[in-house]
Structure 1
Amino acid sequence: MVNIVKISRLMTLMLLMAVILGACGQSSHEKVELTISAAASLTDALQEIRTLYETDHLHVKLHFNFGASGALQQQIEQGAPVDVFLSAATKNMNALIDKKLVDAQEQQNLLTNELVVVIPKESKVPISSEKDLIDEHFQKVAIGIPETVPAGNYAKEALSHMGLWEQLQSKIVQSKDVRQVLQYVETTNVDAGFVYKTDALTSDKVKIAFAVDPVTYAKIEYPVGIVKATNHSKEAEEFYTFLQSSPALDIFVKYGFSISK
């Protein structure tokens, strides 16, 4: 009888140890999920980078939150759980540095881009400069909301520099981000739109009418930074470093970006 009790206790102890070891093994294999808030114009390049990164970092899962840089900045200011931020304008990153939400030593200008005007692929309307947008053939011109969308702010800056901003007010259609501008042109809901060169290269439904003169707007730079509130400092630092490495930069260049000097 005593032996049966001892055996029962031993089996119970072994079962308990198996459960504990199983739980430990399971937790050690749990993936760390990093949330990356990134400008909408980075969508295609970052999707490819995710595949490459997760293949070599099996313990990390990347979750992207794409949108207008200004809107993403506001989300971080309001406490959204973000680990790494990629902006399409330095002013949005600088605002977070000023509010001590990003450490100045843990952010870096990563990429540059160009502003272009696109029209529907089948359009036959002649256009070679911003002045042509005044023509009656162009009833609707899309730009991102200047207050929150860097591409929209660059477009407003360029049009203002040329004295055309006020003249075009009745034609301007504002969009939530640069990808929505591209979509409006693709679906011919507008006659033209201001997007980044990289966005134009992703679509076979639009064509570049002309490149906006870079002297008419501020340099387009994409900084990347680690958000101080991250709960995964080690993994965030590793991904931040990876984005500055040759494998990642090669992918960005493939999608039309230039590397920041």
Structure 2
Amino acid sequence: MTWKSLKTVLASLVAVALAACSPTPSSGPEATVTVFAAASLTDALTEIAADYERDEGTRVRLSFGASGAVARQVEAGAPADVVILADPIWMDRLAAAGRLDEQRFDLLANSLVVIAPVDAAASQDVFEALSGGGRLAIGTPESVPAGAYARTWLQATGRWKAVQDRLVFAADVRGVRAFVARHEAALGIVYRSDVVGQDAVRIVLEPPPEEQPAIVYPAAGAADGGAEGRALLDYLRTPRAAAIFRLHGFEPVA
């Protein structure tokens, strides 16, 4: 064997040895955080989750529904890291059941509006639309916070008895909006955030501040959640996330 050939063999052996000693890329599972949240947060959280995945490299799984339904799932043991609801009462229920950790705070505020189909005729009294068989859509008060807030407002303003036999109930606020958009209800009561970017419905009445119920979205880490959940909760309070929430009609709580 010539010296040149020997050098080639030695170089090949060294390369193999170095490759064997070098660390291999991790084949472990991708970091994931699972969020259970109120349906009204769908658009905002989907956008924020996309930013978070790109910036932090953590996959975000989102599950949306009426706050009552979401709370029952988490209470029954659904694998959540973060919970965000539209009603403190449901969050209190989860805390009492031992399903939350100590990291809980008020994340967002919202307000009620009355909506109608975009092509609905204007009227000084928007509730005239219920005459002649028109329906008023709200979320089911027992499980949908927006429905409970709507009922409270209608009762406080003396309208509840007049509209009771005109009500149609939806499983969440998006269902309310769909009823109105399809002209299956003349009016609906939803959150202001539910109208942002929608061209099939329009706001016909916004209750003044003194009539608005206090609508707060609490956020918390789940008892079985890990560090990924705590990191996402911190991110939700950053200026970047707050700007996205505002674009979608929410008001971040300081």
TM-score interval (norm. to shorter): 0.7 to 0.9
* Structure 1 residue 101 displacement after superposition: 1.3
CA contact (8 A) 2:136 2:167 kept: yes
Residue ranges of structure 2 left out of the alignment (5+ in a row): 1-15
CA RMSD of aligned residues (A): 2.3
Q: TM-score, normalised by structure 2?
A: 0.87
The alignment covers a number of residue pairs equal to: 238
- 1:25 match: 26
Kindly tell me: are residues 244 and 138 of structure 1, through their superposed partners in 2, closer, same or farther at Cα, counting changes over 3 Å? farther
Q: Deviations over 1:1-46 (max 9, x none)?
A: xxxxxxxxxxxxx9xx97xx76x7211xx21222101111111111
- 1:241 match: 234
Secondary structure of the residue aligned to 1:189 is: coil
- Overall identity of the aligned pairs, in %: 34
CA contact (8 A) 2:111 2:213 kept: no
- 2:7 match: none
Q: Give the counterpart of 2:108 among 103, 111, 130.
A: 111
Map 1:48-127 onto structure 2 (within 5 A): 48-58=47-57, 60-103=58-101, 105-127=102-124
Kindly tell me: are residues 107 and 133 of structure 1, through their superposed partners in 2, closer, same or farther at Cα, counting changes over 3 Å? farther
Residue ranges of structure 1 left out of the alignment (5+ in a row): 1-13
- 1:11 match: none
- 1:198 match: 193
CA contact (8 A) 1:128 1:209 kept: no
C-alpha distance in 2 between matches for 1:202 and 1:171: 28
The answer to whether structure 1 residue 41 and structure 2 residue 4 are counterparts is no
* Structure 1 residue 234 displacement after superposition: 0.9
Given residue 51 of structure 2, which amino acid in structure 1 is its aligned partner?
L
Secondary structure of the residue aligned to 1:190 is: coil
C-alpha distance in 1 between matches for 2:78 and 2:239: 30
Secondary structure of the residue aligned to 1:195 is: strand
The answer to whether structure 1 residue 218 and structure 2 residue 213 are counterparts is yes
Kindly tell me: are residues 168 and 255 of structure 1, through their superposed partners in 2, closer, same or farther at Cα, counting changes over 3 Å? same
Query: Which 4+ stretches in 1 moved above 2 angstroms?
Result: 132-135, 212-218
CA contact (8 A) 1:146 1:153 kept: yes
CA contact (8 A) 2:86 2:145 kept: yes
C-alpha distance in 1 between matches for 2:196 and 2:132: 24
- 1:251 match: 244
Given residue 117 of structure 2, which amino acid in structure 1 is its aligned partner?
P
Kindly tell me: are residues 201 and 45 of structure 1, through their superposed partners in 2, closer, same or farther at Cα, counting changes over 3 Å? same
